[in-house]
């Protein structure tokens, strides 16, 4: 018996644990202080009424013999798949029914999709980025090359013709930097992938935060992407499903490598290893893309956007450089006065009682940067910003 020794190569997931530990220790030592968390990567608003009502209906369905549901279709109920196709059509993207795979979230699929690729592939991952891309490939023992995201490229790395990669992760709008690719920038990545027969794994978990029409909501808004890209989507940040769990992955029929459609491989993988998302969850998810549902989730998104604007105004007032905040729930700022990421974390916690996330936890290029999020309440976001302005204007 041998373990998968690749697991021993994983770095400790210390970032959020350390943030939580430091915050807890500070609170214990200063019980009189009100600590505000602008580090929340989770939604805080409740599900939309249309979703709740659809879920109640689904529970009632399960209570009657005539409408009871057992195992569902392998790749999602027809009503949800059609709702997803409708949502794509409104973005100008036409997909076939069998190209949509409903899942329990983008995180699982980010890892699971690797099952259909050989271990020998070279993987390109932006730095800094959502740590799941690196860890899932370390577990599989793949070689990873990094695409440097820096202040110079606006934290949007572009293809380097001198670097070869077989699998390319892109995340737009990005976690943690909030930077989002324009359709023109994505075209360069699509061209790069097509030239090399590479495959792009495009994480669109935050696409519903995009309002600027020049920015991409889906990689399939770029011509040719259907021949080189898989898109990973989630209801988590779109509609507050972080605890409910639902997402969807698009594998186009036109995406063929070594004579094999990847759609076929993924369908085989899913029908073997995954037994679908619950009927209640899928019924709620389908309600997200009704007219009423989209209007209601639009209100929640607008609430988070307003928080992002509050933080952006605060950084503008202080003259601090940042990306994100406009088409993303995240703001990624350069730590003031040349501070390191953890140094600024401690400074902010101790002097403004505000918690953020040190950028260095997302990759080496994150050192000297810091992530703030707009998922808190409007009141606490405004109060946190008042404190940050007061502290940094004084300092
Ligand atoms: N992708 C990115 C970039 C994320 O930031 C997150 C969650 O924070 C996910 C995927 C996970 O999404 P889900 O909740 O659907 O698993």
Task: Report which protein residue has its CA nearest ligand 1's atom 12.
Answer: 106
- Span 314-356, pLDDT tens digits: 999 999 999 999 999 999 999 999 999 999 999 999 999 999 9
Residue 182 DSSP class: B
Look at residue 363 and tell me whether its pLDDT is greater than 70.
yes
CA of 32 to the centre of ligand 1 (A): 34
- Give mean pLDDT, residues 107-135: 97
Integer CA distances (angstroms), 215 to 90, 227, 230, 298, 308, in order: 15, 20, 18, 18, 18
Per-chain mean pLDDT for the chain: 97
The string of pLDDT tens digits covering residues 72-95 is: 999 999 999 999 999 999 999 999
Q: Distance, CA 61 to ligand 1 centroid (Å)?
A: 30
Nearest-CA residue for atom 7 of ligand 1: 107
Token representation of residue 173 = 């709008």
What fold is seen in the domain 5-47+293-394?
3.90.1150
Q: Percent of the chain, pLDDT > 90?
A: 97
Q: Determine the straight-line distance between the first and last CA of the chain, rounded to whole angstroms.
A: 59
Under the banding of pLDDT at 50, 70 and 90, the label for residue 14 is: confident
Question: What is the pLDDT at residue 145?
Answer: 97
49-290 in CATH: which number?
A: 3.40.640.10
Total Cβ atoms within 10 A of residue 185 = 21
Give 235's DSSP letter.
S
Q: Does residue 67 carry a pLDDT above 80?
A: yes
Is residue 254 very low, low, confident or very high in pLDDT (cuts 50, 70, 90)? very high
The encoded tokens of residue 47 equal 């599900």
Cα(393) to centroid of ligand 1, in Å? 35
Asked if pLDDT for residue 395 goes beyond 80, the answer is: no
Q: What is the pTM (predicted TM-score) of this model?
A: 0.97
Q: Delimit the domains of the chain by residue range.
A: 5-47+293-394, 49-290
């Amino acid at each position: 018996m041998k373990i998968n020794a690749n697991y021993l190569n994983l770095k400790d997931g210390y970032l959020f644990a350390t943030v939580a530990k430091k915050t807890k220790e500070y609170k214990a030592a200063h019980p009189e202080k009100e600590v505000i968390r602008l580090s929340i990567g989770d939604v805080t608003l409740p599900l939309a009424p249309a979703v709740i009502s659809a879920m109640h209906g689904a529970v009632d369905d399960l209570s009657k013999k005539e409408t009871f549901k057992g195992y569902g279709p392998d790749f999602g109920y027809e009503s949800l798949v059609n709702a997803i196709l409708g949502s794509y059509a409104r973005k100008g993207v036409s997909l076939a029914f069998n190209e949509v795979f409903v899942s329990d979230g983008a995180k699982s699929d980010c890892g699971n999709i690797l099952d259909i690729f050989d271990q020998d592939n070279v993987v390109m991952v932006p730095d800094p980025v959502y740590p799941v891309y690196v860890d899932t490939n370390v577990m599989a023992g793949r070689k990873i090359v990094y695409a440097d995201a820096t202040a110079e490229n606006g934290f949007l790395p572009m293809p380097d013709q001198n670097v070869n990669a077989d699998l390319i992760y892109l995340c737009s709008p990005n976690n943690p930097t909030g930077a989002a690719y324009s359709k023109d920038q994505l075209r360069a990545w699509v061209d790069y992938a097509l030239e090399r027969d590479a495959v792009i794994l495009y994480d669109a978990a935050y696409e519903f935060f995009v309002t600027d029409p020049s920015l991409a909501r889906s990689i399939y808004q770029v011509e040719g992407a259907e021949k080189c890209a898989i898109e990973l989507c989630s209801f988590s940040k779109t509609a507050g499903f972080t605890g409910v769990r639902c997402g969807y992955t698009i594998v186009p029929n036109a995406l063929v490598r070594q004579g094999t459609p990847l759609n076929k491989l993924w369908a085989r993988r899913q029908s073997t290893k995954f037994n679908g998302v619950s009927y209640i969850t899928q019924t709620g998810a389908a309600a997200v893309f009704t007219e009423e549902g989209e209007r209601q989730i639009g209100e929640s998104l607008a609430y988070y956007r307003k928080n992002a604007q509050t933080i952006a105004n605060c950084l503008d007032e202080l003259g601090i450089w940042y990306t994100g905040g406009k088409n993303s729930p995240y703001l990624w700022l350069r730590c003031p006065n040349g501070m390191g990421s953890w140094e600024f974390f401690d400074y902010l916690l101790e002097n403004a009682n505000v918690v953020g996330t040190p950028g260095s936890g997302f990759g080496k290029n994150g050192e000297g940067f810091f992530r703030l999020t707009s998922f808190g309440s409007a009141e606490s976001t405004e109060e946190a910003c008042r404190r940050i302005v007061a502290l940094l204007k004084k300092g």
